[in-house]
Amino acid sequence: MDETDTKIAVSSISEISNFNMERIITLKGEIDNMSKAEAEISSKLRAAYEADVQAMAVSVLYSRIVAMLLILHLIESHENSQMC
């Protein structure tokens, strides 16, 4: 990472398994530089997590709206079939 003068490696997604569900981040460099790099990585991970949570909330809300519309449609169809 140029801004912190460190080398950063992230484990491959192919290394994830049922026994190890985590990816590993390795930092190499001077202690002060690694500390700065860790702060930047943490900030980016936090932002990514917050974006993921927000996206999941929108997805859940959308799914609920679709389900409610489907239920309303089914109720309306049932009521119309009883009128005939």
Q: For residue range 10-32, what is the model confidence (pLDDT) as tens digits? A: 888 788 788 878 888 899 999 99
Q: What is the mean pLDDT of residues 45-50?
A: 87
Asked if residue 2 has pLDDT above 80, the reply is no
Cβ neighbours, 10 Å, residue 11? 13
Q: What is the dihedral of CA 48, 49, 55, 59, to 10 degrees?
A: 150
Q: Are 21 and 54 in contact (CB under 8 A)?
A: no
Q: Are 37 and 29 in contact (CB under 8 A)?
A: yes
Q: Are 6 and 37 in contact (CB under 8 A)?
A: yes
pLDDT in tens, 48-79: 888 888 888 888 888 889 888 999 888 888 88
What's the pTM?
A: 0.57
Q: Are 40 and 27 in contact (CB under 8 A)?
A: no
Residue 78 has what pLDDT? 84
Residue 84 has what pLDDT? 63
Domain ranges of the chain: 7-83
